[in-house]
Structure 1
Amino acid sequence: MGILYGMVARGQVVLTEFSATHTNASTVARQILEKMTQGKNDSNSSFSHDRYIFHVKRTDGLTVLCMADDASGRRIPFAFLEDIHQRFVKTYGRAIQSASAYAMNEEFSRVLSQQMDHFSTDPNADRLNRLKGEMSQVRSVMIDNIEKVLERGDRLELLVEKTCSMQGNSLRFKSQSRRYKNTMWWSNCKITVTLIFLLSLIIAYALFSFVF
């Protein structure tokens, strides 16, 4: 159900109010105003009445009041009261001090209705829960990033292993190539020596035949 009634008053002079349900909220609110005007200090108060809780914020002689069901707690209703107080002061300024009863009702009752619905139905209206949701999203992103970093680390380790393996294969290839080159060099030397020896024999045989 959420917030069902809202009011803004200067002292006991009601400047605007709106009710989303048919109850005696307006009557009870005026009784609360009579009690609140006996004190002059700024305050935040809550009063229970039947199944509902009346929450009151008094600042600089301006009283903002709402009625909500018990399930709404205190945080959301007082966030609503703070929002209404800021909007009302920003909209009317000094005119608040001399305004007559219900002078702002035609215009601002629509704002009360709109914000009552917003704070009653929109999860983002609860600043603490919204921050918790944002922190949860940030945490999820951080976990996702950490997993990506770890996964990237695994890929880097695999790449390093492959690089080391390739370097090892390259060294073995160079060593084998060097041995093969040496083997071929000795083989060529042997062939060259053999050819020179055979050529020497042929020349010697030819000279010997020519002489005799």
Structure 2
Amino acid sequence: MTITYSCIANGRVILAELALTRGSYQDAVSSVLKLVLLKAEKKTTARIGSYVYHTLLLDGITYLCTTDNPLDVTVPSAFLDEVSRTFSENPLMFQEPFPPSNSTVADFQQVLGRCMMKYNQSQGEFMISGLKSQVMDVKNSMSQNIDKMLKREEKLNILIDRTNNLQVATKAFQKTTTKTSKKIWWRNYKIIIILSSIFIIIIIILLSTNVIPV
């Protein structure tokens, strides 16, 4: 991936720009700056032709760069962050009436050039850094998922233990109820036997004493 063009704009007015390759960027950049103003979002990415335009909008100033790789967003993002910091720390351009003087433009063209060369030469390091970041994100995501699974498993085990305890309690209750029912039945049976025996004895006595005629 190569950063082929970069610029700084106030609204749709380009304050400073630099292109490392031949080609006409003006029409595409004008369309992208218009899109940035319409969307008013901090970061915007647009693909026009064979190039991808990345922008960073801070305090009304648009920082823009063009790359030839639509898949890489790490390097352009880092480039725009550094350029924006450089310009915010050196507000010479913003102290002068717009448009800025030729000397100011030349100074910031040099800044753009240094940053473009730096990030074009160091893109391998940024790719490795980006891959490491992605690996760490995946690792963190997996760790979070494992923690969630362990928590769900723990809750499931608690639920299973409670279910087992409930089943044991239910069986114990059923056994207790069965024993109680048998005891009550046996007690009632004894009472019936005793009352029947007493009734028979009373009948026999009454018959033997002729209280009840035979």
Which range, TM-score by smaller chain? 0.5 to 0.7
Structure 2 distance, partners of 1:45, 1:70, is: 15
Structure 1 distance, partners of 2:91, 2:110, is: 15
Deviation at 1:124, TM superposition (A): 7.2
Deviation at 1:15, TM superposition (A): 1.0
Q: Find the counterpart in structure 2 of residue 52 from structure 1.
A: 51
Counterparts of 1:29-40 in structure 2, within 5 Å, are 29-39=29-39
Structure 1 distance, partners of 2:94, 2:127, is: 28
Higher relative CO (CA 8 A, sep ≥ 6), structure 1 or 2?
Answer: 1
Counterparts of 1:21-170 in structure 2, within 5 Å, are 21-39=21-39, 41-70=40-69, 73-92=72-91, 96=94, 99-103=97-101, 104-123=104-123, 126=126, 129=129, 132=132
RMSD: 2.7
The letter of the residue matching 1:47 is A
Deviation at 1:16, TM superposition (A): 0.5
For structure 1, the residue ranges without an aligned partner over 5 or more in a row are 134-212
Q: Which of structures 1 and 2 has the bigger CA Rg?
A: 1
Normalized against structure 2, the TM-score is what? 0.54
Equivalenced residues, count: 132
Change (3 A) 1:126 1:47: same
Identity among equivalent positions (%) equals: 23
Counterparts of 1:10-25 in structure 2, within 5 Å, are 10-25=10-25
Structure 2 distance, partners of 1:43, 1:123, is: 23
SS in 1 for 2:38: coil
User: Are the counterparts in 1 of residues 3 and 68 from structure 2 also a CA contact under 8 Å?
Assistant: yes
Change (3 A) 1:36 1:63: same
Change (3 A) 1:23 1:98: same
Structure 1 distance, partners of 2:87, 2:132, is: 29
User: 1:5-46 CA distances to partner (integer Å, 9 max, x unpaired)?
Assistant: 00001111211000001112233112211232234x441010
Deviation at 1:51, TM superposition (A): 1.4
Give the ranges of 4+ consecutive aligned residues of structure 1 lying more than 4 Å apart after TM superposition: 130-133
User: Are the counterparts in 1 of residues 45 and 53 from structure 2 also a CA contact under 8 Å?
Assistant: yes
Q: Find the counterpart in structure 1 of residue 194 from structure 2.
A: none
